[in-house]
């Protein structure tokens, strides 16, 4: 079976990437990989479904062994993507999506250079500000902090393979662009070296 | 205006790439670049349309100046692609297709690394042999020579960006695959670095 493709999608807060991801998952051709965490399971959590629950010592051992594709620490707990889960899904021919921030994305690129890195952008800075403000739940100060964070992330655009602008109300088009990228990436010569064998 | 894309398409004799190219040109979104040659103009030839006609000294000066994207010599005449003609069309936002053999394709890659190299393959070696034999115009010896040439060319597949199999009777699908590649390539982060500026 042909291996699936690994997509790493980043998009700053306010790009509307959640809706784009939703369209992709609905096609049934893209799958999220289950993350590992050191936080304690809660009511609805299911081992291997919501997360792989591990101890801090186990997580740090995985990091040391290069078994975490990417990870980060929030509020005293580790969260990350175990390599084996991604590799298993890819081997089953599934397209895997990791929706992670820029630092994690660049970690993945180092460990799995065949990953396809996609950056989702809002159409412009005014739209971004409107989207961040529109939620109405954050103070002006928090919004300014986020705007600065977006700028730091956008500065890394050229580390990515593709850049997609998520225009207002056109998240389906952005999802279709990603599907088009998937179709093209499947035709990459480097992913089809076995075609040579038929003729040699 | 956004620059066009440069496609370099190679496909050994018998891959049916001529028909694929025809579908692309019919869309009106892809253009051949006019070649330069040292052969004398004939009846139907028009300067700057069929070829740019130049002297041997002029052609060799262009080579020396790195002004030929690729060139080759057949039957004592030079044939090649002048860089200025390609760059002019790209600057006008046109997608340019160069249909050239592997050696020329790799020359282009060196001079214009942003070129998109596409290799078209027949579905299998039996189909290739049937297509070469089917023309009925060549001796068995000539066909074997061509088969050997195809194998030398296919060995270079991994130097290309994309590999497309031209299945029997499905040249329109192969053309659509190239159009899909074009759409994806337009979203490359490296071709859209200016998107960053809006946010910085």
Distances (CA, A) of B70 to B62, B95, B110: 11, 18, 10
Q: Residue B24: inside a domain, yes or no?
A: yes
pLDDT in the model for residue B108 = 95
Q: Is residue A27 part of a domain?
A: yes
Query: How high is the pLDDT of residue B1?
Result: 78
**Would residue B45 count as lying in a domain?**
no
d(CA B49, CA B200): 45
Please enumerate residues of B whose Cβ is less than 8 A from a Cβ of A.
119, 121, 124-125, 128, 150-151, 154-155, 157-165, 177, 180-181, 183-185, 187-190, 192-193, 195-196, 198-200
Asked if residue B82 belongs to a domain, the reply is no
CA distance B120 to B9: 7
Query: What pTM was estimated for this model as a whole?
Result: 0.88
User: Do B160 and A189 lie within an 8 Å CB cutoff?
Assistant: yes
∠ CA(B155), CA(B158), CA(B159), 5° rounding?
Answer: 100
Residues of A in contact with B199 (CB under 8 A): 121, 125, 128, 150-151, 154
**What per-residue confidence (pLDDT) applies to B166?**
94
Assigned domain for A142 exists: yes
Longest Cα pair distance anywhere in chain B, in angstroms?
A: 65
Tens digit of each residue's pLDDT (9 = 90 or more) over A42-99: 988 999 888 999 999 999 999 999 899 999 998 899 999 999 989 998 999 999 999 9
Per-run averaged pLDDT (10 residues), chain B, 200 residues: 92 86 92 91 89 96 94 92 92 92 92 95 88 79 87 93 94 96 96 89
B43 part of a folded domain: no
Count structural domains, chain B. Answer: 1
Where in the sequence is the domain holding B121, given as residue range(s)? 6-33+94-197
> B64 to chain A, minimum CA–CA distance in Å?
32
Whole-number Å distance between alpha carbons of A171 and A165? 9
- Flag whether A147 is in a domain: yes
pLDDT of residue A140 exceeding 90: no
In a domain, A174, yes or no: yes
CATH of the domain at B117: 3.40.50.300
**Chain B, nearest residue to A193 by Cα:** B158
In this prediction the ipTM stands at 0.88
């Amino acid at each position: 079976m042909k291996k699936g493709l690994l997509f790493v999608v980043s998009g700053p807060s306010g790009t509307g990437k959640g809706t784009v991801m939703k369209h992709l998952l609905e096609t049934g051709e893209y799958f999220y990989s289950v993350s590992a965490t050191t936080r304690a399971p809660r009511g609805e959590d299911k081992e291997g479904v919501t997360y792989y629950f591990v101890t801090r010592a186990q997580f740090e051992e995985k990091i040391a062994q290069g078994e975490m594709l990417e990870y980060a620490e929030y509020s005293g707990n580790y969260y990350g993507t175990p390599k084996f889960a991604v590799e298993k899904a890819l081997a089953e021919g599934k397209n895997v999506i990791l929706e992670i921030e820029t630092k994690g994305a660049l970690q993945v690129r180092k460990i799995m250079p065949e990953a396809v890195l996609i950056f989702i952008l809002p159409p412009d800075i005014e739209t971004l500000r409107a989207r961040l403000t529109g939620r109405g739940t954050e103070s002006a100060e928090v919004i300014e902090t986020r705007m600065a964070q977006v700028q730091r992330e956008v500065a890394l655009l050229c580390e990515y393979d593709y850049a997609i602008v998520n225009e207002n109300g056109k998240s389906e088009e952005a999802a279709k662009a990603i599907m088009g990228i998937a179709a093209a990436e499947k035709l990459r010569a480097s992913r089809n070296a076995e075609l040579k064998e038929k003729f040699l």
